[in-house]
Each structure stands twice: as structure tokens, then as C-alpha cells.
């Protein structure tokens, strides 16, 4: 009986677990250009999962191509790479777009004999046919242009010369050989691409199975991607020891799991109750120092509960001493598969900075879960809209906001901003806050909260943009079902389309790379691919 050995080379859809391999490939393939960030690659994958492909040779990523769906009016009009790619995140993806747009292609040059570039282009072509799109379009490099510019003349003349055989350009030649036709030249497409003079060939492949005179009308299916969310409005109370605190937390985890919730969310600084059994009077700094000692056991207990009760736990936040000796306010997200993720608070409030010397973190990124990517913004961070937009560009459809406010004014600041984040990013926002008081614990004298689950304001959602909310200032568990598919519909066909209507040609957020390799700088030039390269 013959035995079949596994394939050594495979082209398949990219998944978040491939991000590290993709970054290594691009770094190796294009050593002279600035690499993508992990967040940008995650955004490409999360925003259009079926449109990103990797070639894997014996478990190593040796090829990658990124794509998005774009409307014809945008894809065939003059444009630049940063604008049409959503600054590298693939966030311009339109589920009703009738063209497949090529954002990136990277190939391991040491494996060129395997025709990896051709295989990736074929995967794109098959996808375009399956989706009944009008074709594939991209901006391709023309790296031979600068070398013969004085002889060739304009980039249009150079392109014509390549087609007629007067000049040789390996990238343009590769595209022509693979069935693409230039419809013009895109000026200032990649300003940093000096060898191409910043120009790009506007390449298209037309799907022969779609009548060009009858463009298909795409609609987003109104299916159901149901997720059950639970938010805990937790009563601050004195406890006699660590075990009693854990018992109180586990009670709500158990109840949320009984209702088959996918997530349960706790408030910011919900662990301050652990200071209530201290026998001596502590200064604010001594109190925070003591609290940091509970970090490891808290995370261990939350992770245990997540696996035992089969629920994802957003563990509010807990003061944490970092490797450099500073203290940060960090949310620990314990998933039901046993993995533990963290998100630091980027902006400490003036009160936190003064009394507790809490320092701000330096990166905000999505967390991949079994229901898709989610994000966490701790309290004050929700009042900075660029953070939520970053998370949504990476693919987040749910943003969790653990908060801790002592009066109605403070609460309403967070509430109004959280609602704004839900509207402007067309996503769900879940708020979880503390109520009650802890006499003798600094900064927990009084608390005010009305925890809630917020939605965008459009037809598929709740009338007031509120899926569910707790009563004010009482301990409660609030649960609601939300449909992630409604977000996809709203982003493509809603009354307003905040994400799609952004003016990338006028403004963008420039994220510094100095603090974290995971933080994008959207002004950075996209990769300048070598052969085959482009699109």
C-alpha cells in the first residue's frame, strides 16, 4: 500500500499565528526598507481574513500577499498606497467592493525557483473568481525606471518601452507575464521608492467570468455572529483575606458562565479590596507597593477560572510593577484556552500619577480571542479617540472599558466618550465599573457607576445605542447578546459609514516606533519589494 507524504509547499489563507513568520519574511526580503508592525499585519488579516495568503515551505513562511476588496470608483481612480491600504492596516476593505486590490507581495528570494509569486497570484485570482469580483488591481513598482530615466523620458514612455521590449524591468515584466495589463501610471504612489521615482504601474486583471457591462451588486449577508457579553458592576467591600476576595470574584464568573457568556468584564482597580485586610495604615505609595505583590496570584486565579468555567475574563485592571521598576495600571485578559494577555493603561489620570506615581504604557494592540480580535481601553484611555481607532484598524469589533470613577461627572466623561467610540468606530463598547466604598483605602472612598454595553446608532442596533445597562450604584451582572455581523453590515451599508468615509488623503495618525516595535508609523514607506514585487 502506497503512502502519501505531506506536501512540502502549501499556499493557504494567513492566520494571526503567522504574523511573526510574515514579519521575518518581509525583513529578510526587503532589508533596506522599514518593516510592517505586527499590528499592521494583524489588521490586514483581521479586516479581510480570506484575502491574505501565505506560502509555507516545511513550516516556514516563504511568501505572503495581502489584499482587500475596494470599490471600482476608488480602485481604478488615481490613488496612493497609504490611502488605499488604510495606512497599511487593510482598513479600507469594503465587503461590497467589486475589485480585489493587492496591498503587498513578499517572496523569499532563496526560494524563487518554486514560483512562489506566481502561486500567490493564482490564489488571488481564484479568490476573485469565487467572489465573482470584476478583477484584480494594484500599483506595481517599476524599479528600472530611475536607471534609464534620461533615456526613457516620462514613466508612461518607460512603461510603453518595457511593453515593446526596449527596456527590461523585472517587476513590470513579471506582472505582464502573469496576465496583468497596465491602464496607466500612478504618480506619488510610493514616494520613498526612489528606484521607481515614486511612480507605480496601475495594473489590472479582468475576471473573464464576469460581464463587464453588468457589474455585480454585492450586499452584506445579514447572518448572525452572536456573542454574549457580561459586565460586572462590582461592589467594593472589605474582605478578611485573599481567599475571600477570590470567592467574591468567582461568584460572578460562575453566574456569567451559567448564562453561557463568552466574556465577563470586571472594573478597573477592582482588586483594591485586597487592601482592606491590611493591619497597618499605609501611605498611598505603600498601598500600591503592597497591591503589586498580589499580581501573580490574581492572574493565576483568573486564568484558572477562565479555563474551569469556559469563559473569557477581562480582569479589570491591577497595579503592576514592571521590569524597569515603575508601576503601571494593567488589565489582564485571561482566555478560556489558558492564554493570558495584558493591556497597560496608556494615560494615567492626574490623580493616579500624583498619589500612586503610576506611569503610562506605550502600546495598544488587539487581543486575538476565539470570537475574533478585541481591545481594552482602561477608563481614561477611552477619552482618547486615536487609541480606539488603532484597535479597530487592527480588526477589533469589541472594545472593553473597565473604569473606576468616584462621581457622576467623572462617570459621564467616560460614558459619553465610550458611546462616541462605539459610533465613530462602528463597534461594541462594554463598560464595567465599581460601586460602593472602601473606608480606609485611599482613592476608593466613594464610587459611581452605571455599567453598560453600548452599540453604534443605526438600524440593526438598540434604539438608544444601549444593548443593556445596569441600574446606577448597585452591584449587578448585566448580560446582552450582540451580533458581530451587524457591525459588518453597518460598516458597508449603514446610514453612515464612519470607517469607510475617512479622508485618508487629508489626515492620518502617525504612531511613533520609538517605544514599541508593535506600534505603527503610518508615514513610513511601504515595502519596496524586489522581484517579483508590487501588488
Which of the following is catalytic: 65, 379, 417, 427? 379
Strand partners, 135: 99, 206
Question: CA dist 246 to 234, 277, 405, 447, Å?
Answer: 13, 14, 23, 21
> Beta strand pairing status for 53-57 and 60-70?
antiparallel
Which of the following is catalytic: 40, 104, 268, 469? 268
The grid coordinates of residue 240 equal 478578611
- The answer to whether 315 and 297 are in contact (CB under 8 A) is no
Closest by CA position to 52, among listed 3, 124, 117: 124
- The answer to whether 210 and 216 are in contact (CB under 8 A) is yes
Torsion of CA 475, 479, 484, 489, to 10 degrees: -90
Buried-exposed string 420-431: b where 16+ CB fall within 10 A, e elsewhere: bbbbbbbbbbbb
Is 379 catalytic? The answer is: yes
Alpha carbons within 13 A on the beta-carbon side of 191: 7
Which of the following is catalytic: 65, 345, 394, 452? 345
Is 268 catalytic? The answer is: yes
Is 250 catalytic? The answer is: no
- The answer to whether 108 and 28 are in contact (CB under 8 A) is yes
The grid coordinates of residue 232 equal 460586572
- Catalytic (active-site) positions: 268, 345, 379
Amino acid at each position: 500500500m502506497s503512502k502519501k507524504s505531506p506536501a512540502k509547499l502549501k499556499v493557504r489563507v494567513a492566520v494571526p499565528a503567522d504574523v511573526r513568520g510574515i514579519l521575518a519574511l518581509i525583513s529578510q526580503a526587503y532589508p533596506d526598507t522599514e518593516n510592517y508592525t505586527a499590528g499592521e499585519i494583524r489588521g490586514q488579516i483581521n479586516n479581510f481574513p480570506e484575502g491574505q495568503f501565505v506560502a509555507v515551505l516545511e513550516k516556514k513562511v516563504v511568501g505572503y500577499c495581502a489584499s482587500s476588496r475596494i470599490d471600482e470608483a476608488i480602485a481604478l481612480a488615481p490613488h496612493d498606497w497609504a490611502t488605499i491600504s488604510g495606512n497599511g492596516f487593510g482598513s479600507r476593505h469594503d465587503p461590497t467592493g467589486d475589485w480585489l486590490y493587492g496591498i503587498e507581495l513578499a517572496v523569499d528570494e532563496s526560494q524563487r525557483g518554486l514560483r512562489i509569486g506566481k502561486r500567490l497570484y493564482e490564489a488571488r485570482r481564484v479568490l476573485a473568481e469565487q467572489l465573482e469580483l470584476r478583477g484584480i488591481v494594484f500599483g506595481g513598482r517599476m524599479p528600472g525606471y530611475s536607471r534609464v530615466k534620461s533615456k526613457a523620458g516620462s514613466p508612461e514612455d518607460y512603461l510603453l518601452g518595457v511593453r515593446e521590449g526596449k527596456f527590461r524591468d523585472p517587476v513590470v515584466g513579471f506582472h505582464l507575464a502573469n496576465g496583468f495589463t497596465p491602464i496607466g501610471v500612478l504618480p506619488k504612489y510610493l514616494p520613498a521608492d526612489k528606484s521607481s521615482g515614486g511612480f507605480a504601474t496601475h495594473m489590472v486583471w479582468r475576471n473573464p467570468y464576469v460581464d463587464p457591462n453588468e457589474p455585480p451588486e454585492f450586499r452584506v449577508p445579514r447572518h448572525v455572529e452572536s456573542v454574549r457579553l457580561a459586565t460586572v458592576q462590582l461592589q467594593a467591600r472589605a474582605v478578611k483575606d485573599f481567599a475571600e476576595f477570590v470567592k467574591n470574584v468567582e461568584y460572578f464568573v460562575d453566574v456569567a458562565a451559567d448564562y453561557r457568556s463568552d466574556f465577563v468584564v470586571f472594573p478597573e482597580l477592582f482588586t483594591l479590596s485586597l487592601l482592606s485586610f491590611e493591619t497597618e495604615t499605609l501611605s498611598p505609595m505603600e498601598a500600591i507597593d503592597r497591591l503589586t505583590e498580589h499580581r501573580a496570584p490574581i492572574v493565576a486565579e483568573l486564568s484558572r477560572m477562565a479555563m474551569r468555567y469556559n469563559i473569557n475574563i477581562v480582569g479589570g485592571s491591577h497595579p503592576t510593577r514592571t521590569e524597569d521598576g515603575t508601576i503601571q495600571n494593567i488589565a489582564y485578559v485571561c482566555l478560556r484556552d489558558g492564554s493570558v494577555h495584558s493591556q497597560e493603561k496608556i494615560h494615567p489620570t492626574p490623580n493616579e500619577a500624583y498619589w500612586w506615581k503610576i506611569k503610562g504604557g506605550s502600546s495598544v494592540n488587539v487581543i486575538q480571542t476565539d470570537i475574533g480580535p478585541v481591545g481594552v481601553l482602561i477608563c481614561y484611555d477611552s477619552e482618547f479617540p486615536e487609541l480606539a481607532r488603532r484597535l479597530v484598524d487592527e480588526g477589533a469589533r469589541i472594545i472593553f472599558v473597565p473604569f473606576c470613577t468616584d462621581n457622576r461627572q467623572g462617570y459621564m466623561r467616560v460614558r459619553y466618550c465610550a458611546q462616541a467610540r462605539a459610533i465613530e468606530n462602528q463597534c461594541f463598547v462594554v463598560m464595567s465599573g465599581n460601586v460602593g466604598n472602601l473606608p480606609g483605602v485611599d482613592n476608593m472612598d466613594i464610587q459611581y457607576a452605571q455599567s453598560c454595553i453600548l452599540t453604534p446608532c443605526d438600524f440593526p442596533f438598540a434604539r438608544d445605542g444601549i444593548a443593556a445597562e445596569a441600574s446606577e450604584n448597585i452591584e449587578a451582572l448585566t448580560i446582552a447578546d450582540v451580533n458581530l455581523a451587524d457591525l459588518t453590515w453597518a460598516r458597508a451599508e449603514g446610514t453612515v459609514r464612519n470607517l469607510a468615509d475617512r479622508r485618508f488623503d487629508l489626515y492620518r495618525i502617525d504612531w511613533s516606533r520609538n517605544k514599541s516595535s508593535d506600534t505603527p508609523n503610518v508615514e513610513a514607506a511601504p515595502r519596496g519589494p524586489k522581484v517579483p514585487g508590487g501588488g
